Amino acid sequence: MLTNPATKYRPFPPVALTDRQWPSRTLTQPPIWMSTDLRDGNQALFEPMNAERKRRMFHTLCQIGFKEIEVAFPSASQTDFDFVRELIEGQHIPADVTIEVLTQAREHLIRRTMESLRGARRAIVHVYNATSQPFRDSVFHMSKADVLGMAVSAVALIKHLAEAQPETEWVLEYSPETFSATELDFARDVCDAVTETWGATPDRPVIINLPATVEMSTPNVYADQIEWMHRELARRDSVILSVHPHNDRGTAVAATELALLAGADRVEGCLFGSGERTGNVDIVTLALNLYTQGIAPGLDFSDINAVARTAEYCTQLPIHPRHPYVGDLVFTAFSGSHQDAIKKGFAAQAADAHWNVPYLPIDPADVGRSYDSVIRVNSQSGKGGIAYLLESAYGIVMPRRLQVEFSSVVKDHTDQQGCEVNANDLWNIFAATYLETATPVRYCEHHLFEHGKAQGIRLVIEQNGIQHELTGEGNGPIDAAVHALQGVGIRVQVRSYEERSIGASDEAGNAQACAFIELRPVNGSAEHYGVGIDGNIITASIKALVSGVNRNASAL
């Protein structure tokens, strides 16, 4: 890289618009959406979509709710031409959807394009020519007047051909390609000439589409360019002002949102930011950004994974795991404090209240994602995430101090293994740590009996492989079992005790009790939990006691 990039690159000049209005506006409604997945998206693929992939993408776009879909560049290839014919002849276009096709401003290409649309109920013909200085000088070798003339002749030809195909309701779209690099007054003059030539009226408006063919400036400059055009265009009431941003600087979404504040009515883009180079603006992100502001976007992403899988199939390109709203990891928290806040946020979120869960800008359920993937556990995780997973997958609601204790067990595991653990792994670690412990003591069976006012217990255990039948009394079964264990030299105090059911009880009485007992050795200070699960609540408690004894012993 250059030590002084100013010798090679120039800053993009600002727009002289001192009374700009867009910074103090807010978005209150969605734009008209136009998907160009099948055109700008398609022209950017290693392997353009074949007919079957195009069909599938078109069907998905209709299902999502797009009413305008650019389906092809029919003069570019037989595949594209045939696809348009198939849609029209096969009557595959829903009544409320209008197809759009793109053409250069060249006579033979326009004629072929209009031919492809024969018999369409309604169609948008999108014609473009580049207007910026490098294109005028180096590509076309034309003056400004000639470039304006190219656009006007193309529109006049489309108008003439359209009149000869009256069965179709025609809509014209014109793009001054490279608009964002074009002198604004020249862009306005070309667009005004197009509007005039087409004879646009408020009832039959023309779509004037202002592309950031290459994104060249900060989003506020693009917004200024759009507001300037919005204010300067003649017959603005006969124009649908459209934007077509690309993402070369990574700010296409921001640029589009500001352009909408600046007066744009319509947005062209692709699902998940597919498209040339760094992509067209991502319509999914735009739509869901609106949704999270309480604005219905008019596009349905309630099964966003299905849309993502279709897009990946059709484009043969993967979606990044951190792509907004859809990436495999965007509803996932690994770090402990985030997991803790999300868990508490979910617990505090009332069903009918405004969404207010920390770290999650949208309810994953609204886009068909499940909560299960929200919290995942690796070495960066804390007790909150671990507790959340065990509770949501296995119904184990751990007391807070057990959460702390168990999280250090899990951390040892993840530090050693260096990998993520899922809910099933957590359950296995939990079971091995608390439920399957048999050394030095293994619970065999117990029998309760009354002894005056006291609770008596006969407790059968194995200690280091030798069976013992112990007897104890206390003010309840746990106290009696604690006393019985003293018969083999085990002296512990119960610091806390909790019991919860896991799973609803069925007709066969299948609910299980889960007991948590926190123990301290009489001659020690370390406290450890024991956990017992059983269909019988007393048995669960005695098992928890034995589990705690073993945990204390293993900590010595």
Ligand X SMILES: CC(C)C(=O)C(=O)O
Instruction: Provide the token pair at 251.
Output: 């700010």
Backbone angles phi, psi at 431, to 5 degrees: -65, -45
Residue 244 annotated as part of some ligand binding site: yes
**Which of ligand ACO, ligand X, none sits in contact with 257, Cβ below 5 to 8 A by type?**
none
Handedness of CA 420, 425, 426, 429 (dihedral sign): negative
Which residues are 500's β-sheet partners?
514
* Closer of 187 and 396 to ligand X (Cβ): 187
The stretch among 104-112, 497-505, 525-533, 544-552 that binds ligand ACO (CB under 6 A) is 104-112
* 112 lies in the site for ligand ACO, by CB under 6 A: no
Closest CA to 478 of 508, 509, 518: 518
* Shortest Å distance, C-beta 177 to ligand X: 4
Q: Which amino acid is at 101?
A: V
* 257 lies in the site for ligand ACO, by CB under 6 A: no
- Dihedral angle at the C-alpha atoms of 247, 250, 251, 256, nearest 10 degrees? 30
* 180 lies in the site for ligand ACO, by CB under 6 A: no
Positions 14 through 53 that interact with ligand X (CB under 6 A) = 40
* Closer of 110 and 481 to ligand ACO (Cβ): 110
Region for residue 272 given its phi and psi (left: phi exceeds 0; alpha: psi -120 to 50; beta: otherwise) = left
Write the interaction track for ligand ACO spanning residues 266-305; mark x where CB under 6 A is met and - where it is not. ----------x-----------------------------
212: Cβ contacts below 8 Å, ≥ 6 apart: 179, 180, 222, 243, 244, 245, 246, 252, 255
Closest CA to 552 of 393, 441, 415, 403: 441
DSSP 46-84: SS---HHHHHHHHHHHHHHT-SEEEEE-TTT-HHHHHHH
* 244 lies in the site for ligand X, by CB under 6 A: yes
**Which of ligand X, ligand ACO, none sits in contact with 129, Cβ below 5 to 8 A by type?**
ligand ACO
CA 36 to CA 253: how far, in whole Å? 16
Handedness of CA 179, 180, 181, 183 (dihedral sign): positive
Instruction: Provide the token pair at 500.
Output: 């919860």
Residue 528 annotated as part of some ligand binding site: no
Region for residue 97 given its phi and psi (left: phi exceeds 0; alpha: psi -120 to 50; beta: otherwise) = beta
Instruction: Provide the token pair at 316.
Output: 């043969």
* Closer of 39 and 528 to ligand X (Cβ): 39
**Which of ligand X, ligand ACO, none sits in contact with 225, Cβ below 5 to 8 A by type?**
none
Q: Residues in contact with ligand ACO, total (CB under 6 A)?
A: 17
Residue 126 annotated as part of some ligand binding site: no
Q: Which of 48, 63, 112, 140 binds ligand ACO (CB under 6 A)?
A: 140
Q: Which of 12, 43, 448, 498 binds ligand ACO (CB under 6 A)?
A: 43
**Which of ligand ACO, ligand X, none sits in contact with 175, Cβ below 5 to 8 A by type?**
ligand X
Positions 90 through 109 that interact with ligand X (CB under 6 A) = 102
Residue 320 annotated as part of some ligand binding site: no
CA 401 to CA 405: how far, in whole Å? 6
Write the interaction track for ligand X spanning residues 169-208; mark x where CB under 6 A is met and - where it is not. ------x-x-------------------------------
Q: Which of 83, 128, 272, 516 binds ligand ACO (CB under 6 A)?
A: 128
Could you give the count of Cα atoms lying within 13 Å of 366 in the half-sphere of its Cβ? 15
* Closer of 177 and 518 to ligand X (Cβ): 177
Task: Note the residues at the interface with ligand X (CB under 6 A).
Answer: 40, 102, 128, 175, 177, 209, 211, 213, 244, 246
Task: Note the residues at the interface with ligand ACO (CB under 6 A).
Answer: 40, 43, 73, 75-76, 104-106, 109, 128-130, 139-140, 177, 213, 276
Binding residues for Mg(2+), by number, are: 40, 244, 246, 280
Binding residues, by number, are: 40, 244, 246, 280
